[in-house]
Amino acid sequence: MDETEIAKGRGTAAPGARTDDRLSGRLGIMVGGKTVAALHMEGGGATLEPADGDTRASVLVTSMDDLQRIARGELNLVVASLRGLLSLRGDLTFGVRALRALEAGIPVQGADRNWTGNGG
């Protein structure tokens, strides 16, 4: 497979990836050590909510742009973690599943229409 073929798939979920409609809970979003929002995962979708309230896990990112790059499929979760751009706290299984769903293109309600830069 040449570089052109690899680049074609960039920004899309892997074939066969699907949203887990059983995923349920809140993922806190921390930027620069401050909780700025939460993603409420329920029924195969997500809602961006205010930061207050309990969360099952929290994702710590260096910037909101990094989280948006993950949602657009431009930044791999493992690469982000290895580069020190992302870490998880709390229920790690839930946190990874929630981030994988975000990476796969789960619809996010309550977010600015262009919160990922691609209208998603």
Task: Decide which of 9 and 98 is more confident.
Answer: 98
Report yes or no on 70 lying in a domain.
Answer: yes
73 occurs within a structural domain:
yes
Please indicate, yes or no, if residue 12 is contained in any of the structural domains. no
Q: What is the DSSP letter of 22?
A: T
Domain count along the chain = 1
Say if residues 29 and 36 touch (Cβ distance below 8 Å): yes
Residue 90 maps to which CATH number? Answer: 3.30.1050.10
CA-closest candidate to residue 105, choices 118, 96, 92 = 118
10-43 pLDDT tens trace: 444 444 444 556 789 999 999 888 999 999 999 8
Which residue range is the domain that position 39 belongs to? 20-109
Q: Is residue 26 in some structural domain?
A: yes
Note the pLDDT tens digit of each residue in 44-103. 889 999 989 999 999 999 998 888 888 888 999 999 999 999 999 999 999 999 998 888
Does residue 4 register a pLDDT over 70? no
**Residue 15 domain-assigned (yes or no):** no
